[in-house]
Chains A and B, each alone.
Chain A
Amino acid sequence: MHVPDGFINAPVSAAAGVVAAGAVAVSLRGARRELDERTAPLAGLVAAFIFAVQMLNFPVAAGTSGHLLGGALAAILVGPWTGVLCIAVVLLMQGILFADGGLTALGVNITVMGVVTVVVAYALFRGLVLVLPRTRRSVTVASFAAALVSVPAAAAAFTLLYAVGGTTDVPLSKVLTAMVGVHVLIGIGEAVITMLTVGAVVAVRPDLVYGARGLTAPLKLRVGGELVDAAPAAPATAPAGSPKKLWIGGLVTALVLAGFVSFYASASPDGLEKVAADKGIDSKVEDHAAADSPLADYGVKGVEAPRLSGGLAGVIGVGATLAVGTGAFWVVRRRRTHSETAA
């Protein structure tokens, strides 16, 4: 989905650039508040991980394969702030080092693939985790749903940008459906892999999954072979009560949006088929490239783009996506400040 130069007109590209810069700035602050001076090495390594994992090909059926976008995965594993940063850095490096995605389209790419996926995925994930019973299964279910919705949401956001600033008038109604339709399919793959990956991490290091943290046992001292409780050095930080209502509200909005989107997707099966055909061609290209080293295969890794080529343009209510995105961002911020004052 890396958009090249000249695809979206200059004013909209610039506006997206401002949005992306703002989101990155907010995320820098948020990540720093959470990770402190650990931000640079941790976000850097997670970015390297996302970069590597995007090269991991998942065979879909004979001859075709797909790969992760990673927005939802990053959001769930390291949280929205660090998640946005990682994806933004990956896109920046892809643009500068590999000429993948236009420099003037960097704002569009970061907004669509970084901000929208991460924010939508994280809002939905947190919402579900709060509503569902507190078990590991809920975490995996929530990550499935979050990843599933995040991909078509990104497609919808792109379609919105194209509707406002596309350089060519393509019939839009036809194509929101195609764009979103294809991405629902892709979203399923993304969802399954994200869910399984999060599940694998939760099973081994639950403390590393951003959404599932915070269980500590009291310290013990070994005195003459006996274990005795040590005096706690600092009061344990209680998990702050979160404003459930806000979350449920956000969740309902997201679900309504998802329903809306899939309604349109199913309304136009022929568009879907066409895009699916393009997708097939594209997957073959990638499969072939994967024969070489991961770095070599990067060469042909425009790859997700044809999804876009499927999504011949678009219209409609995708303002909703951005609105939900902004709302979710606001909610996340509210919650953070809330928990800080509580702690």
Chain B
Amino acid sequence: MGAGHAHKLYRHAHSPVHELPPHTKLAAVLGFVVVVVSTPREAVWAFGLYAVLLAAVAAKARVPAGFLLKRLLIEIPFVAFALLMPFVVPGQQTTVLGVSLSVPGLWGAWNVLAKGTLGVAASVLLASTTELRALLLGLQRLKLPPLLVQIASFMIRYGDVITDEMRRMSVARRSRGFEAKGVRHWGVLAKSAGALFIRSYERGERVHLAMVSRGYAGTMPVIDEVTATRAQWARAAALPLTALLICLLGRTL
């Protein structure tokens, strides 16, 4: 979650993608992923084109391929799941290198891998080109309930503070010679979690006091607004619209 202004995935740079207003990017990514998900899995070439599209955006945003690929690792658990499918799904069998595999299972695995990977890649591109705060403003602009956006922004503002407290407690535990090794140490860890909750909740109360002391009555005053021009919307829409075109081709061919 990094330090407030920038989070871990964010890569500071000046590119046409970085400069797009956040809500246009959010809408574009969501649109893109929806299109990807609704593409029939038999249209293998379409997924290839989607990947090319994302690669083009990444190049434009100056996000290095290595960074993007590394981030895809988050998918690994689902890769494992997908790899199991050809072995367990019943149906027509085919033999690859002497191993009997299920055809629907292979299709299933391909479907999960292709769509999941494209989804993660699109999200990574969004997160790596948009500042945290901008993302929150974008969500607000996209009519996410303001209260939800506020909760999210407090979570972001204090995520580091709480994580730091957790780290300090861990250091304090270890300084007194405690090393969590197994089930019998759960009690100690749970006590830490309990203490962390109390601290978090009490900080929440203090933050609230500081807010109401300055006139907060349930709504955040509007200080910054993000706006997008028609041209910016058009540029952001290029990604999902091209994808839609590919998808429609994939459905007809």
A touches B in complex, CB < 8 A = yes
Give the interface of A toward B (CB within 8 A).
4-7, 9-10, 13, 24-25, 28, 32, 36-49, 51-53, 55-56, 58-62, 68, 77-78, 85-86, 88-90, 92-93, 95-100, 102-105, 167-171, 174, 192-193, 195-201, 203-205, 208, 278, 281-282, 285, 293-296, 298-306, 308-309, 312
**A319→B180 CA distance, assembly (Å):** 40
| Residue ID in chain B nearest A6 by CB atoms | B115
CB distance from B82 to the nearest CB of A (A): 8
B112 contacts A4, C-beta separation under 8 Å: yes
- Please measure, in the bound complex, the distance between the C-alpha atom of A46 and the C-alpha atom of B36, giving whole angstroms: 35
**Bound: A203/B195 CA distance, A:** 11
Across the interface, do A298 and B8 meet the contact criterion of CB distance under 8 Å?
A: yes
Are A308 and B77 CB-contacts (below 8 A) given A5-B118, A45-B207, A92-B152?
yes
Max chain B CB contacts within 10 Å: which of A37, A41, A208, A312? A41
The answer to whether B148 touches A10 (Cβ under 8 A) is: no
**Complex: A285 Cα to B77 Cα, angstroms:** 10
**Given A5-B36, A45-B207, A98-B74; A90-B148 close (CB under 8 Å):** no
Contacts A6-B111, A42-B204, A306-B77; A103 near B158 (Cβ below 8 A) = no
CB within 8 A of A37: which of B9, B151, B218?
Answer: B218
B residues 33-49 with Cβ under 8 Å of A? Answer: 33-34, 36-38, 41
In the complex the two chains form, is B107's CB within 8 Å of A96's CB?
no
When C-beta atoms are compared, the residue in chain B nearest to A45 turns out to be: B204
* Cα-based distance from A90 to B1 in the complex (angstroms): 12
For residue B200, CB closer than 8 A to chain A, the reply is yes
- Cα(A221)–Cα(B82), bound, Å: 70
Given contacts A45-B158, A48-B155, A103-B123, 19 further A-B contacts (CB under 8 A): A6-B37, A6-B119, A7-B115, A28-B148, A38-B205, A39-B147, A42-B201, A45-B207, A48-B158, A48-B159, A77-B201, A99-B120, A102-B119, A103-B29, A168-B105, A168-B109, A171-B88, A302-B75, A303-B77
Stretch binding the partner chain, chosen from B92-100, B186-194, B238-246: B186-194
> In the complex, A298 Cα to B122 Cα: how many Å?
19
> Whose C-beta in chain A lies nearest to the C-beta of B203?
A45
CB distance from B125 to the nearest CB of A (A): 9
25 pairs of residues in contact across A and B, judged by CB atoms under 8 Å? A4-B78, A37-B217, A38-B204, A45-B207, A47-B152, A48-B158, A49-B162, A55-B166, A89-B151, A92-B152, A93-B152, A95-B123, A96-B26, A96-B123, A99-B9, A99-B120, A99-B124, A100-B74, A102-B116, A104-B30, A168-B85, A169-B108, A192-B183, A193-B193, A208-B201
| Complex interface: chain A residues within 8 A of B207 (CB) | 41, 45
Q: Is there contact, CB below 8 Å, between A99 and B123?
A: yes
Is the interface on chain B under 10, 10 to 19, 20 to 34, or 35 or more residues?
35 or more
Alpha-carbon distance A333/B68, docked complex (angstroms): 45
Using A32-B147, A42-B205 as known contacts, say yes or no to A197 and B193 having CB atoms under 8 A apart: yes
Alpha-carbon gap, A43 to B148, bound state (A)? 9
Contacts of A102 in B (CB 8 A): 33, 37, 116, 119-120, 123
Which B residues lie at the A interface, using CB under 8 A? 1-2, 7-9, 26, 29-30, 33-34, 36-38, 41, 71, 73-78, 80-81, 84-85, 88-91, 104-105, 107-109, 111-112, 114-116, 118-120, 122-124, 126-127, 132, 135, 139, 145, 147-148, 150-159, 161-163, 166-167, 180-183, 185-187, 189-198, 200-201, 203-205, 207-208, 211-212, 216-218, 220
Judge whether B201 and A98 touch: CB under 8 Å: no
If A44-B154, A208-B198, A295-B163 touch, whether A6 touches B114 (CB-CB below 8 Å) is yes
Contact A170–B1 (Cβ < 8 Å): no
> Are the C-beta atoms of A36 and B218 separated by less than 8 Å?
yes
Contact B189 A104 (CB under 8 A): no
The answer on a CB contact under 8 Å between A41 and B211 is yes
Whether A85 touches B151, Cβ cut-off 8 Å, given contacts A5-B36, A99-B9, A302-B75, is yes
In the bound complex, what is the Cα–Cα distance between A37 and B213 (angstroms)? 12
Chain B neighbourhood of A278, CB < 8 A: 80
Kindly list chain A residues whose C-beta atoms are within 8 Å of the C-beta of B122: 103
Q: How close is A303's CB to chain B, nearest CB, in angstroms?
A: 7
Partner of A41, one of B1, B135, B154, B186: B154
Tell whether, in the assembled complex, residue B201 and residue A198 are in contact, meaning their CB atoms are under 8 Å apart: no
CA distance A168 to B86 in the complex (A): 11
Q: A-B pairs with the 8 shortest C-beta distances?
A: A6-B115, A44-B154, A168-B108, A200-B194, A5-B119, A196-B190, A305-B77, A45-B204
